[in-house]
Structure 1
Amino acid sequence: MIGKIIGAYAGDKLAKQTSGLGIGGAGGAALGVVAASVLRRMSLPAMIALGAGGYVAKKLYERNEAKKTPTQTIVSETEETPTAAAA
């Protein structure tokens, strides 16, 4: 019972952090309860494989996001810009 409460609390907090997915606090709490129940029935090798897979997926996602966002060049105010030099 305590595991379900802790799972619900963690799911609620996680759902509030990732509000872009459309899952509210109650939905996150429900997912936390389900996750706690599923993890209790999994074997240790399956848990390790799930954790490693999540880590790899996160790294791949971050790498793809870094490729999508262009790097910005910062121009200091002391340098002349082409429009300022022409004026």
Structure 2
Amino acid sequence: MHAAALLQTGIDFANEQGIEVRLELLDGSESGLCVYGGKKCIFLDLAQNSLEQLYELGVAIIRDAGIGVVDLPSELQSAWGRL
């Protein structure tokens, strides 16, 4: 599956988990998970390419949000299985 399609699958999965995903120009700030008003949001940097955004999204979902790899859709398991 192409990186852009995998990225969209990851964004859709995050949304299903109640996590908003926002693509913003972060001007050197890091991508990652933020919690505000009790809601989780992952910020991804628009300056990065799809593959870099996919990696950052995986890190935020698996490491920061604590969602296990086994809970991911199969196509994301292979992409993020080593994070």
TM category, shorter: under 0.3
Whichever structure has more helix as a proportion of its residues is 1
Specify the structure having the higher radius of gyration (Cα): 1
Whichever structure has more strand as a proportion of its residues is 2
Q: Tell which has more relative contact order, 1 or 2 (C-alpha 8 A, sep 6+).
A: 2
TM-score (norm 2): 0.26
